[in-house]
Structures are given as structure tokens and as C-alpha cells.
A = this chain, B = another copy of it.
Amino acid sequence: MSPKPVSRSTRRTRRPQHATIRDVARAVGASISTVSAALNGTDYVSAAMRAKIEAAVQQLQYRPNDLARGLRLRRTHTLAIVVPDLSNSFYAEIVRGMKDYTAAANYTVLVGDSRERWAEEKLFLEMLHRRRVDGVVRVPAGDGNASQAAQVLGTIPVVYADRYPEADHPVAAWVGVDNARAAMDATQYLISLGHRRIAIISGPTTTRTAAERLEGYQRALRAIGAMHKEYIRNGELDMAGGARQAIELLTQAKPPTAIFCANNTMTLGALEAIQQLGRACPREISLLGFDDFAWSTLLRPRLTMVRQPAREIGMTAGRMLIDTIEERTRNRATQTLPTQLMVRDSCAPPLRP
């Protein structure tokens, strides 16, 4: 059985797609090892040779193929972030922060939008696994059972931002704010203005942050014995959800004098509802929101809101991720960043306290 050298290639129609390292090597009459060493500075290469190679690279417009590189190196220099809603400026800002930070360390980031659905998030995570990203930061979808993520991601490092993981990876890294505390402070601010009938529009209780904010709100009101169940609403996190809950609250027999909204989109919905019902804000009804956004000062009234350091959250998540990837795990596994109450015009003392 002699293995005969068969000329098996029938097609010779090979259009030259991109220049390869081999083309560069051929152009300067060197081996590809030498070219590689020259380009990466990883071994001795004479100055003359280096110059010739650099010229050839320019002339051939050679760009290394990162697929081949990643395959060999087992590193793609790619990260990813998945958020529940990209059109929400809060998450957009987190993404931006992460991109800015990681770009400086020469990482590319893929961004995914789960639309609050684990099914969509899972699809995205599977794609990330196939692409062998070096790490991912998750703001898990709020519809529960996001703890299967460990399965689909395998050994890829994960950092959580904003929302807590739920007993997911054993030692999960996380960065975010103290939501209970921030909500409590906000509620106490309303109390200090004289409000007693304070409502909250919160998200679904499967969303960790929503649950914590509700908790903080309750703690503040319980302390003065002013908690009433009919003022607690949870619903969808979007604008329509906020509007619907606000209308229900304001049209009931004994409406609240202040509404605390647990995220930014719902706050906008509530504002829309208030205007639609012809109520004067803040004279007749005070509105306090969560998650600030850039153009909140353009609205009338200018909204009083709890500001989260979105950009810093994204940057920190990126930093924590890169640190674990590159095995400088010097930093703590969890980081809590400060919030800030941006007092503007949408809250005032109640008409009849």
C-alpha cells in the first residue's frame, strides 16, 4: 500500500483574498517564522530584515488574520456584554463605559440585548461561546432562571453588573450600587418634604434590583408607620408599564401625593401619565425617579432622580473582567459604587400633608 501523491486539487481558481504572512515572507525572501518574530518582536531579527519586512507589510497591505491568531493563541481579545435593554440609556451608558475602558487595553467588545428574556440571552451567550470570547459581563435578563448561564458559558469568566447573580457561578464577581440604601434615601427625602402617602412603581420581583429598591422603600416607610399596600405596584419595566401603573394610582379614591419610580423608563411613563391626566407636577403630585439620564434636564419639570454611576459601573466591570482574564486578581470580587440624589424640580411638599 504505497501512498501515492495524488494531485487532488481540481480547482485552481484561487482569487487572492487577503495578503497572508506567507506572502510577506515570500516577498522578502524569508521564512514565515522570521516575519512573525519581526512583527511581534518576539525573537531576534536583524535590523535590515526588519526594515524589509515592514516595507513589504506596507506594500502588500498585510493585516494579520485574527482568526488564525486566536486559534493558535487561544485568546481572542474579545469581550462581550449583554444587557436587558440597549435603548435604555442607563444600560447604553454602562456599555459605553465598558467599551471605553477595555478599548484602552486593546479589547473589542460584542454587545447583546436580551430584551429581558433569558431565551434571547441564552442564544447570545451560546454565540459567545462559539466565538471563544475571553470573558463576558452580564446584566442578566429579569425573567428568572438565568442561573443556567454557567452551563452554556463553560469556563468563560463572567462579571455581573447592576443586577445580582442568583447563586450562579460559585465566586461571582459583581459591580453595582446599594439599591436598598438608595431607595431608602430617596423615600426619606420625600418624607422630609412632608409626604406620607408615597407610592412606588417597581419592576417584577424576579428582578433583583427591583426587589431591593422595593425593600428600601418599605424600610423607610415602615419606620414612620406609613406603609400602605395599595401604594405598591410592580409591573413591566418599560414606559407603558410605568404609565399604566401611574394612572391606576392617581385615579384611585385616595391617591398618593408622591410617586417613586424604580427605573428611568417607568419614570418617563409616569410623567406622561401625569401630564395626560392634567395633574400638575410637582404642585399636585411629586415624582421621583431612578437611573438618571443625560437629557432629564430638558424635561419640564426637570426630574428629580437617583443617579447611578452607569459609566463607572461599565468601566469597573471591564476592569474586573480583564483582571481575572489576565490573572491579576488583586481586586475584590464585588464592588459597590455610590449613588447620588439629583434634586431638581419634580418634587415639592404636598398640598395637604
Residues of A within 8 A of B (CB): 1, 3-4, 6, 17-18, 41-45, 47, 61, 63-68, 70-71, 74, 76, 86-87, 89, 92, 96, 99, 108, 110-111, 113, 126-127, 129-132, 151, 154-155, 268, 271-272, 294-295, 297-300
Give the copy number. 2
> Measured between alpha carbons, how far is A297 from B243 in the docked complex, in Å?
14
Q: Please name all residues of chain B whose beta carbon is closer than 8 Å to the beta carbon of A61 when the two chains form the complex.
A: 151, 154
Closest residue of B by beta carbon distance from A65: B132
> Measured between alpha carbons, how far is A149 from B136 in the docked complex, in Å?
31
B1 & A47 in contact (Cβ 8 Å cutoff) = yes
> Measured between alpha carbons, how far is A151 from B59 in the docked complex, in Å?
11
Within the complex, the shortest CB–CB distance from A102 to chain B, in Å, comes to 13
> Measured between alpha carbons, how far is A89 from B88 in the docked complex, in Å?
10
A43-B6, A96-B86, A300-B300 known; A129+B71 contact, CB < 8 A: no
B87 & A76 in contact (Cβ 8 Å cutoff) = no
Most chain B beta carbons < 10 A, residue from A18, A151, A299: A18
B108 & A127 in contact (Cβ 8 Å cutoff) = yes
Closest residue of B by beta carbon distance from A16: B155
> Measured between alpha carbons, how far is A3 from B44 in the docked complex, in Å?
6
Q: Please name all residues of chain B whose beta carbon is closer than 8 Å to the beta carbon of A154 when the two chains form the complex.
A: 18, 61, 63
